[in-house]
Amino acid sequence: MTTLEYKGYVTEGVAKGKFDYYVYTELCKGCGLCIAKCPINAKGENCLHWSKEVGLYQTPAVEPDPSLCIGCGTCALVCPDSAIRIEKKAL
């Protein structure tokens, strides 16, 4: 078994530096379900939004606003392709 490599990008220090926000560009298909489900976006803010990076089908991937994201994990839960991972930072 070889270990697999995953391409993607990290937004460091979301939710006042508590979490790192990983997006895997080889898994994200750009469906946008996470953007519609984000509880901060539901309040009228622009927390989770389209990124300049592209995903699997050359459609925009997503990225969070580090100052607005609270690291609730709704986007990671709802993603059909597990393209989002929110990892707690080791203190």
Partner 1 sequence: MTTKILELPPNLPKSQNEEAGASKFCPGCGHGMVLKTLAFAIDELELKEKSVFGCDIGCSLLSWNYMDIDTVQTHHGRTTAVIYGVTRANPEAIGIAYMGDGGGLAIGAQHLVNAAVRGEKMLIVLVNNTNYGMTGGQMSPTTLPGQRTETTPYGRDCSVTGKPAKGAEMIAAIADSDKSYVARASVSNLRKLRSTFKKALKNVNEGGFSFVEVLSICPLNWRTNNVDTWARLQTMEEFFEVKEFVSREGL
Least distance between partner 1 and beta carbon 23 (Å): 9
Query: Is residue 26 part of the contact set for partner 1 (CB under 8 A)?
Result: yes
Nearer to partner 1, 25 or 70 (CB): 25
Q: What does the block give as tokens for 33?
A: 């379900």
Specify the DSSP element, H or E, that contains 55.
Answer: none
Which of 14, 15, 27, 47 contacts partner 1 by CB under 8 A? 27
Query: Is residue 8 part of the contact set for partner 1 (CB under 8 A)?
Result: yes
CB 36 within 8 A of CB 55: no
Q: What does the block give as tokens for 91?
A: 């203190």
